[in-house]
Amino acid sequence: MAAMASSCSVLVVACSFAVLHVVAIAGATQYKVGGDGGWGVPGAGDEPYNTWAEKTSFQVGDQLLFVYPKDKDSVLVVEPADYNACNTASYDSKFADGNTAVTLDRAGAFFFISGVDANCRAGEKLIVMVANATGSSASPPSSSSSPSSPSGGGGGGGAPAGQAPPGAPATPAGTNSSPANGGAAGGGAKSGAGLTVAASGLAGSLIAAIACVAIAI
């Protein structure tokens, strides 16, 4: 009986941690980059992507949704040097399915550019700063210089998480969690209250753990 009670206690603890993890994921938010206009070259008068990003508080677990014509555009996750130079030949990840959801799985800076060189040089690029669990994120290094001009060369550098190139968005305010409304280039609209999580297996385990404890008692 003592062994059964011990096993049930371990199961209850494990299920509790699993429940907390699911709750944390369920509270994440998905942001549609570019709002109704989707991911593309900013039009005249549109809010720049990085201006929108500065006004939005991104948390670990949030998602960015990039919607674009898959036969004409793509999304690249790149290093800071490649972001500045619009170097489409060097990237960490490439997506070209036309409906890309990228999970922000760590605190720090994420760098996105269009896979089309001309589009990137025309402003289709984005830096997102993600806050850590305490609500703060690493600030970009101070510098008086601005990002490289579109004519700059390539070169991939492995910058640590949280490091941003000159001109990167400032650390987002911890109290502003709502995406901006408006321009197609930067007015990312919140497209959902959170991520859908399948928890039927977890619920079953939790019920079994409770029943086990009841038997042990």
Residues 6 and 87 in one domain: no
Residue 184 in contact with residue 42, Cβ under 8 Å? yes
169 and 210 co-located in one domain: no
- Does one domain contain both 55 and 94? yes
Q: Please check whether residues 21 and 90 belong to one and the same domain.
A: no
What does the alpha-carbon distance between residue 29 and residue 39 come to, in Å, rounded to a whole number?
Answer: 18
Shared domain for 48 and 106, answered yes or no, is yes
Residues 6+ apart with CB under 8 A from 11: 205, 208, 209, 212
Is residue 17 domain-shared with residue 118, that is, in the same domain? no
Average pLDDT over the chain, rounded to an integer: 69
Q: What is the CA radius of gyration of the chain?
A: 21
- Mean of pLDDT values over 139-153: 38
Residue 120 has pLDDT above 70, yes or no: yes
Asked if residue 20 and residue 33 are part of one domain, the reply reads no
The pair of three-digit structure tokens given for residue 121, joined into one six-digit string? 């040089």
Q: Can you give the CATH number for the domain in which 129 is found? A: 2.60.40.420
- What pLDDT, on a 0 to 100 scale, did the predictor assign at position 22? 40
Residues 126 and 139 grouped into a single domain? yes
Please tell me whether residues 173 and 111 are part of one structural domain. yes
Region 189-202: mean pLDDT is 36
Q: Mind giving me the DSSP string for the chain?
A: -HHHHHHHHHHHHHHHHHHHHHHHHHT--EEETTGGG-SSPPPTTPPPHHHHHHTS-EETT-EEEEE--TTT--EEE--HHHHHHT-TT--SEEE-SSEEEEE--SSEEEEEEESSHHHHHTT-EEEEEEE-TTS--PPPPP-S--PPPTT-------PPTT---TTPPPPPPTT--SPP-S-TTT-PEEEESS-----HHHHHHHHHHHHHHHHH-
Do 203 and 174 fall into the same domain? no
What is the domain count for the chain? 2
Q: Tens digits of per-residue pLDDT, 26-85?
A: 578 999 999 999 999 999 989 999 999 999 999 999 999 999 999 999 999 999 999 999
pLDDT of 170 > 70? The answer is no
* Residue span of the structural domain in which 106 resides: 28-194
Q: What is the pLDDT of residues 7-29, one digit of tens each?
A: 545 444 444 444 334 434 457 89
pTM: predicted TM-score of the whole model, two decimal places:
0.58
Q: Are residues 5 and 70 in the same domain?
A: no
Same domain, yes or no: 107 and 186: yes
First to last CA, the chain: 9
